[in-house]
Amino acid sequence: MRTLVLIALTSSLLGCTYEDGRGHHHQGSGGGSSTAPDPAVSTIDTGASLADMVPGEGVGAFAEYQAGGTWHIYTTCDTAISKLSCRWDIILSAASADEIFDFAPDRLESSDYLDWEDDRSVRMVTRTTTDFDGFFVEAQPGAPMLLDVYLDGRPEPRYIYWVGDGGLHQGSPTNPIELVPSAP
76 DSSP assignment: E
Residue 24 is assigned to a structural domain of this protein: no
Residue 46 is assigned to a structural domain of this protein: yes
pLDDT tops 80 at residue 24: no
Percentage, residues of the chain above pLDDT 70: 80
Taking alpha carbons only, the member of 75, 51, 62, 67 closest to residue 1 is 51
Residue 23 is assigned to a structural domain of this protein: no
Q: What CATH number corresponds to the domain at position 71?
A: 2.60.40.1170
pLDDT tens digits along 66-86: 999 999 999 999 999 999 999
Range of the structural domain that residue 84 is part of: 2-15+36-181
Q: CA-CA distance, 175 to 177, in Å (whole number)?
A: 5
Q: How confident is the model at residue 53 (pLDDT cuts 50, 70, 90)?
A: confident
Of the CA atoms within 13 Å of residue 180, those in its CB half-sphere come to 6
Residue 140 is assigned to a structural domain of this protein: yes
Residue 29 is assigned to a structural domain of this protein: no
What average pLDDT score do residues 45-69 get?
95
Residue 22 is assigned to a structural domain of this protein: no
Question: Is the model more confident about 15 or about 177?
Answer: 177
CA distances from residue 21 to 33, 87, 120, 128 in whole angstroms, order as listed: 16, 8, 24, 14
Residue 20 is assigned to a structural domain of this protein: no
pLDDT tops 60 at residue 2: no
Determine the 3-state secondary structure of 5 from DSSP: helix
Average of per-residue pLDDT values in the chain: 85
Look at residue 66 in the predicted model and tell me its pLDDT. 98
What average pLDDT score do residues 37-62 get?
93
pTM here? 0.82
- Counting the structural domains of the chain, the total is 1
pLDDT tens digits along 104-133: 999 999 999 999 999 999 999 999 999 999
The answer to whether 16 and 56 have CB atoms below 8 angstroms apart is no
Burial of 38 (0-12, 13-18, 19+ CB in 10 A): exposed
Look at residue 19 in the predicted model and tell me its pLDDT. 33
